[in-house]
Amino acid sequence: MPLADVRCKTAKGLEKPYKLADGGGLYLLVKPNGGRYWRLDYRHLGRRKTLAFGMYPATSLAEAREKRAQAKKLLEQGIDPSEQRKSDRRDAQIAALHTFKALADEYIAKLEKEGRAPTTIGKKRWLRDLVNGELGSRPIGDVSAQEVLGALRRIEARGLHETAGRARALVGAVSRYAVATGRSSRDPTQALRGALITPKVTHRATIIEPTAIGELMRAIDSYRGVPQVEASLKLLPLVFVRPGELRGAEWVEFDLDAATWSISAGRMKTRRSHRVPLSRQALDIVRSLHALTGDGPFLFPSVRSRQRYMSENTINAALRRIGYGEDQITAHGFRAMAATRLNEMVRWHPDVIERALAHQEPSAVRRAYTSGVEYWPERVEMMQVWADYLDTLRASVSRS
């Protein structure tokens, strides 16, 4: 006779375990402590087996019967329900290990091992977090183009069109990594070409008119603040490296006797090591800074910890304090300033200026022929001429 739910509710523990049968091999096993467990006895390939369906009342009588029906269907197909359950659990465990977040973390860890710059790694993690809400827990192989587009549309809705494009690139990179390592069969972002809003290209603000450069140099000299910030603001125009390369500068990279700053490939955007000749003016700034921060790893440590370098917006904030808006000059704008004025001097070959800027040669053929070419003597001369030129503009803002 089938079980009634009231009998399941009122079943009490006795001295020994006992069974309340429901039929078809399903029964409620009542233990001495009062615990009530659903079990299904069945035979497969001549062997008697038992399958557990959970505890009552967390698993109701109706749910236990449904599980019995599912097990019977598997047996009719010649499938052992116990083995199927183990297989399902393995698949679930594999799926948990192969989620988008898990693969994204693995991919980013790979980039770290390859020596990618900390700033780059930080940006990758930030982009991962932007899409994790929609994609993070999804098995990487099941992520659809529509799901990715939904996550990117949410970023676009905040007006972050360029960020949405970068997030798409990260999802694509993670997906291709999953394909390469056998965890997925496709990259869903390939179907999204043209689906996102194309951001309006805005060039970083800079100042290139000589009189205005002189005024800027004088304004920089007037800045009073945290010493390392003051030094960074004065040094950046002289070396015109990327702001992140300056902020992360380490004392071990500097040979003051040789007037050389050597930046490792891991800290460079181009993934190529880069040497910067230091002018007399740049050396003076670095030497004066050594007395303040030379006991730590970084030239420009954070005000909160000497074990970390200053934040990304520090130099831009200093420029705002001396009266220059983001539409006038940014930390990155000093590169365009130097490139423009140095090219207009027509004194050095463009390749010398490009190498000083650590630009990546777009042509693969030219890259092969110019690999390792530094134009060092020309660059040493050029950096000193540039520093002297800035001094001239600083001293007389009316001269060009």
Q: What is the pLDDT of residues 311-363, one digit of tens each?
A: 989 999 999 999 999 899 999 999 999 999 999 998 999 999 999 999 865 44
User: Helix H segments across 346-375?
Assistant: 350-356, 364-370
For 266, which DSSP code? Answer: G
Preceding peptide of 118 cis, ω within 30°: no
Q: Select which of 223, 359, 389, 394 is catalytic.
A: 359
Q: Which CATH number fits domain 210-395: 3.40.1080.10, 1.10.645.10, 1.10.443.10, 1.10.1330.10?
A: 1.10.443.10
Judge whether 242 counts as a catalytic residue.
yes
pTM of the model: 0.56
Judge whether 332 counts as a catalytic residue.
yes
Residue 86: band (very low, low, confident or very high) from pLDDT cuts 50, 70, 90: confident
Judge whether 44 counts as a catalytic residue.
no
- Comma-separated ranges of CATH 1.10.443.10 domains in the chain: 210-395
Judge whether 369 counts as a catalytic residue.
yes
Residue 368: band (very low, low, confident or very high) from pLDDT cuts 50, 70, 90: very low
pLDDT in tens, 236-288: 999 999 999 999 999 999 999 999 999 998 888 888 899 999 999 999 999 99
In angstroms, the Cα distances linking 153 to 124, 169, 188, 194, 249 are 19, 14, 15, 13, 37
Domain boundaries 5-89, corresponding CATH code? 3.30.160.390
Residue 174 has pLDDT above 90, yes or no: yes
| Beta strand pairing call for 260-263 and 254-255 | antiparallel
Q: Which CATH number fits domain 100-192: 2.102.10.10, 1.20.1300.10, 3.40.50.300, 1.10.150.130?
A: 1.10.150.130
- Comma-separated ranges of CATH 3.30.160.390 domains in the chain: 5-89
What pLDDT is attached to residue 312? Answer: 86
Q: Select which of 19, 86, 280, 369 is catalytic.
A: 369
What pLDDT is attached to residue 395? Answer: 93
Q: Select which of 242, 247, 267, 379 is catalytic.
A: 242
* 65, 103 contact by CB (below 8 A): no
What pLDDT is attached to residue 400? Answer: 42
What pLDDT is attached to residue 171? Answer: 96
Q: Select which of 65, 67, 335, 379 is catalytic.
A: 335
In angstroms, the Cα distances linking 380 to 55, 126, 157, 355, 363 are 79, 38, 48, 12, 26
Q: Select which of 183, 332, 355, 379 is catalytic.
A: 332
